[in-house]
Amino acid sequence: MQHGPAVRRRKLGAELRALRTSAGLTSGEAARLVGWHQSKVSRIETGASGVKPADVRLLLDAYRVGDANLRELLLVLAGSDESGGRHHWWHAYRGVLPPTYRDFISLESQASAMRTLETSVVPGLLQTPEYARAVTRAAVDGLADERLDALVEVRLARQDILRAQPPLELSAVLDEAVLRREVGGPEVMARQLKRLMEAARLPQVRLQVLPFTAGAHVGITGPFVIFSFARTSDLDVVVLDHLTSSLYLERKEDLQAYTEAFNTLQIRALSPEDSLDYLAGMGAGA
């Protein structure tokens, strides 16, 4: 399994190595130009260590890279917040967040758009506090109350990206099973349905319900998330979540396959308007 930031470090390193080669420099010559030891350049190029955006700028200047779009792309790969990324607020929770979850939040915080298929639970960005608590308690057996509280805090803090400027654009397809599964009891689900209806009315949210009557569909293989990034598709990534880890897919073939799958699911699902009516009907007990 590959972690998101690790994949991006290797991608950044490969790009920097190619630029150094194009500039006609050895790794030792590049190191001398920026005042480093040669081993630091090698570690960056192999993805063995992270690199600060400021260091990337030094290398790009040394390689005389003037392409503004390319420079911006590489700075995003290095984790720069200059292109709309949010501050790394989740670092305060490092003691309770597993690495795969931190990786996911890192991608989510820098993405401009998120497409998600959910087959079991409401997306984290749309959960109420009570629903989030019930889901987290069920997912992690024997969780202490203090850690449970921290994980719910993180889930709710993530939702700020829907209110950021610019906000994350969220497109979600929810299998009907998500709405029928009584998480936390009837009262919790009633409040959760109301929250979904509120979210569905937001201009940056496109929410669709995939009813049981749609029959078998491409999404029965499991949920997935597609993150997209502003001004470039080179960073787009698919995330498949597992019980103990996550898989990050960045090959163009994988991205195309999951994008086509999501487009198909949107066609099979109810329209956003009909989905809102469907949620209202469920909330009224229809």
Confidence grade of residue 245 (pLDDT, cut at 50, 70, 90) = low
Q: Summarize the confidence of residues 112-127 as an average pLDDT.
A: 96
pLDDT attached to residue 233: 65
Contacts of 27 (CB under 8 A, 6+ apart): 20, 38, 41, 42, 45
Q: Which residue is listed with tokens 């099979």?
A: 268
Contacts of 216 (CB under 8 A, 6+ apart): none
53-57, 150-154, 165-169, 226-230: the lowest-pLDDT one: 226-230
Q: 185: which 2 tokens?
A: 């009891």
Q: What percent of the chain has pLDDT over 90?
A: 62
Query: Which residue has better confidence, 49 or 189?
Result: 189
pTM of the model: 0.82
Average pLDDT of the chain is 88
pLDDT attached to residue 85: 45
Among residues 179, 279, 259, 186, the alpha carbon closest in space to that of 218 is found at 259
pLDDT digits (tens, 9 = 90+) for 62-81: 999 998 878 877 887 787 65
Listing DSSP states for 97-139 in one string gives: S-HHHHHHHHHHHH-SEEEEEESSS--GGG--HHHHHHHHHHH
pLDDT digits (tens, 9 = 90+) for 176-197: 999 999 999 999 999 999 999 9
The three state secondary structure string of 87-101 is CCHHHHHCCCCCHHH
Q: Is 232 helix (H, G, I), strand (E, B) or coil?
A: strand
pLDDT attached to residue 2: 47
